[in-house]
Amino acid sequence: MSDSTNQTSEFILDPEGEVTIILHNPNAPLAVWDLTSASAHHGAFNKQPGEDGSGDAPGDNEKKATDQESSTPKPAAVRFRVSAKHLTLASPVFQSMLIRNGWKEAKQLQEQGSVDINAYDFGTEALLVFLRIVHCQVTQIPDRMSLDLMAKLAVVADYYKCRDLVAFYVNRIIRDSHCNTQPKRFSRTLVLWIWVSYFYKIDYLFDLVTTTAVREAGGVIAPLGLPIPKEIIDDLNDIRVEGIKKIVDALHAAKDALLTPPVKCSIQCDSALLGALTMQMQVHGLLSPKPQEPVVGLRYRSLVKDVDNFWCPEAWDVKHTIHYGMSIKPERRFTREYKKINCHLRRIQPPTFDNYLARRRWFISGSSLASYLRYCPS
């Protein structure tokens, strides 16, 4: 359906329709995922100049994009002949535009019996499916849709305030489509699923994809131009940052505890623990400078795994003497009985470490859809 649809310049949904919708700049890019977004979330900070265009001088990318836009002819407008009655019954936007006084379209329709309405940037196929739903042409509505088409259709339905009508036809397709295809990392696909699950009120799917987002995002979670409410995006970013911040704060609290009297175990023990902790914090970029918002380059799930796998030196006790592979007197080595003791990094700050790295290992989760239904158009 997509190829033939995109090559057609006119669709007649009602041969006697009074309204012609003219779609300008059809099939404009939706939810563009650029190199900057990918690098921030996937940790691609070590690319050499020239890889994926990352070595271009400042402004080069903008210049290339401008040159391409100027050299590429704009696509021809696409026309849809439709029924004014169907439009006004389905959409409050069309109702205001075609019935209420004060709108030029309503005046033209009353005086001339027909009217042209302009639309911009929508996907041709998405607008066609939307209009087929409005005109109750059920047999011509596809049984399957790609994620991109579902997202574009949601954008059209959102603009014309027809969520409930479109959702009636699309929800089953969405529930069947997602199956086991959910992305495991933060990506454009995940953002599209956030938008689709929010708009069509698929609560369990919204919880699933937002949880993946806060655990896997390596930088600021952005809507990529989709009309996702700002409240949702802000909350997801707050959840992600707070989860990372609590782990980082727990590590720094453990470090400060080892540096501050009184001695926790013994000087030798505390020194070994401090050295192991600070070295591994530095290796993972957690020591200095201390990560600050928006914590770009750190993913919550990876951080938990890394910290949970921090190496801890073994501790042995001989009459309160601690041995970490350091030289000790030979007679003690062979004549004394050594006993392994439980001396571990988590003993320094058990409330924070235990909560975030043991009992609540994956404690952060996405937002509940019910909290945002007031932002969802009907």
Mean pLDDT per 10-residue interval, the chain, length 378 residues = 66 96 96 71 42 38 46 85 97 94 89 96 97 95 92 97 94 71 89 95 90 93 95 92 89 87 80 88 92 90 86 58 39 37 50 41 60 59
| 63 neighbors 159 (Cβ within 8 angstroms) | no
What residue ranges do the domains of the chain occupy? 2-27+75-177, 250-359
Q: What is the CATH number of domain 2-27+75-177?
A: 3.30.710.10
- Confidence (pTM): 0.78
Residue 60 and residue 54: Cα distance in Å, rounded? Answer: 10
Rounded (5°) CA angle 193-92-153: 25
> 15: which DSSP letter?
T
Q: Quick one: angle between helices 147-159 and 124-134, nearest 10?
A: 60
Contact 13, 81 (CB under 8 A): yes
Phi and psi (nearest 5°) for 281?
-65, -40
**Which pLDDT value is given to residue 338?**
37
User: What's the pLDDT at 312?
Assistant: 76
C-beta contacts of 165-168 below 8 A and 24+ residues apart: 165/90, 165/133, 165/134, 166/130, 166/133, 167/199, 167/200, 167/201
Residue 354's pLDDT is: 41
Strand, coil or helix: what is 301?
A: helix
List residues bridging with 342 in a β-sheet.
none
Whether residue 299 contacts residue 284, with contact meaning beta carbons closer than 8 Å, is answered with: no
pLDDT at position 188 is 95
